[in-house]
Structure 1
């Protein structure tokens, strides 16, 4: 039996040790708090001439506003499904109204002045000036959160930092996941129905992507493309675990899908590894795109996965890059012919994992 078939089923490492979702939220909250404190210091510097009292008051306001608003945004509002389904502008207005209520409460308490030992504000002019500045910063933060949710937090940060402004080559795992039978479902459910079906499915699949620290590159029709940098994806076989977690999530949600759509989504997938070129492209609509043979091969492997038991193929090039053996049995399928490659490609498959 090949070493590839060594099983680690039931090992304590079969699930993420630390919640990736929580870790990501805490990192974003820390960044928001830092920005809030710096903004508060800027206010104190501009209004108080740089005195210690004004700086302490400004930093206190910045810390409280950013900390409270950031925590509510990340740990409350992001989980309100009904709010996240609103149109962009309506969502922005609703969130801004919540932010405004928090700002008014903190300003009325005059927490900054109390912490700094400064005289309390006696005029409405001072109050409204502070409120307007805080509201402006909060709306900008809200806009940042909303844009990040539209294009993805990592893509947003990559645009802001200019990481891929000039194209670079990176070694990455690329996972293609396809929803089987979507064409037939589209005929039965209709255009709006299949859109709702795909939206519900992709939302569910994305939870597994977050859990295993992947990055959603794109949704294309009935497919989702997920990537990991080599150092990130090699840990604990995250791409494999992610795909299996997706299947388990769909199995768990099967009764709900059956009731609402009369069908349960089934997925196929493929995994490949190698160098990809990542860079910004376009003018009117700027995007970060991934190019290279790895992307084409992964897509063609997904086509082949439709013809094998288990509905999943991984290239040997991807399997050997993992830092540990696969967490469940895999079968060596040898070399398969693949469109565009004269010599074919060595692949392994997985069966149904409970």
Structure 2
């Protein structure tokens, strides 16, 4: 199954389950505990979650004009769209029909449906907006408390840096380089999704991507992701040159090992990765600027792949690196492969 579709279906399933649990809890708290009442509530929740979740995941998230709206305008537009669908579901009385209950026809029921739809649409909208702002996976990790206490995980860590961004900043100006980086990162993120990576952070002109060991080992996903990024940028050269007068080029590094993952901070908490693996990956990225192909992968990362890479890599031996007395064994990919 396509990675993007798989992710969307997984999130849709999570929305349906969360909605069902919340619906049952609310109805029980209000004293509605008969089987028909619970069936009606679950029917409403299921249909609403499927419709709103599908609209959000398959339509709104891919809308370029929505992305350009300020947060308040975005909330207003999304809430209106959600409300239209929720009102329609309420007026169709799918819950009563599913549970075999008497249909409601009074004007009071109509206005109650309007009020209910408005409240639910705003709540859903804020939830989706926050998830989109910090990332769906990070949002779920915060809600579940998975990293409230720090844990150690084995991770692949991919650093990707946009080459020559300092010179581009002088050429394009502050606003111009921001738009350039935004467009580039959006394009690179498509490859991250395709190869089931997780964007850890955007730092200046750099994007950091990670994979859990089990996921990243399949089909050399981190390595293939970097190559896919370069190929995507190569295809977009005419578009970038037309709009910015320059096209982005990237270099990168890949490492593997144990990292400490946990929440940190109070006013603006974040889930961060710490450890020697992060430092080593960053230093490998610095070294990648000096090698043909602009990419370095540690032997530790290559050894964890479940299969051989689908293209040739060349052994670069042991390179000296800051913080390591014995250096680090690395491989590279040729410039032709990296940009094909």
- Give the alignment's TM-score, normalised by structure 1: 0.91
Partner of 1:333: 316
Structure 1 residues 105-124: aligned runs within 5 Å:
105-124=88-107
**CA offsets, 1:138-188, max 9 Å, x none?**
322221211111111111111111111111111111100000011111101
Q: Matches of 2:49 and 2:235 in 1, distance apart? A: 37
Alignment of 1:8-23 (within 5 A): 18-23=1-6
CA displacement 1:259-295 (0-9 Å, x = unmatched): 0001110000000111111111111010111111111
Query: What stretches of structure 2 of length at least 5 have no aligned partner?
Result: none
**Matches for 1:36-185 after TM superposition, within 5 Å:** 36-42=19-25, 45=28, 49-185=32-168
- Count of residue pairs brought into register by the alignment: 337
CA distance in 2: counterparts of 1:48 and 1:119, whole angstroms: 19
Q: Which runs of 5+ in 1 are unaligned?
A: 1-17
| 1:168-247 correspondence runs (5 A) | 168-247=151-230
Q: Which residue matches 2:255?
A: 272
Q: RCO higher in 1 or 2 (8 Å CA, sep ≥ 6)? A: 1
Between 1:49-58 and 1:206-215, the stretch displaced more is 49-58
- What's the C-alpha RMSD, in Å, of the aligned pairs? 1.5
Change (3 A) 1:284 1:46: closer
Q: 1:125 to 1:268 in 2, by over 3 A?
A: same
Please list every run of at least 4 consecutive aligned residues from structure 1 whose deviation after the TM superposition is greater than 6 angstroms: none
Contact 1:42 1:58 in 2 (8 A): no
**Residue of structure 2 equivalent to 1:14:** none
Q: What corresponds to 1:290 in structure 2?
A: 273
Is this contact kept in 1: 2:37–2:99, CA < 8 A?
yes
In 2 relative to 1, CA 43–161 (structure 1 residues): closer, same or farther, beyond 3 Å? closer
Distance in 2, matches of 1:315 and 1:157, equals: 31
**TM-score for both structures, normalised by structure 2:** 0.95
CA contact (8 A) 1:43 1:58 kept: no
3-state secondary structure, aligned to 2:278: helix
Q: Retained in 1: the 8 A contact 2:199–2:207?
A: yes
Q: Is the 8 A contact 1:208 1:246 kept in 2?
A: yes
Residue matched to 1:7: none
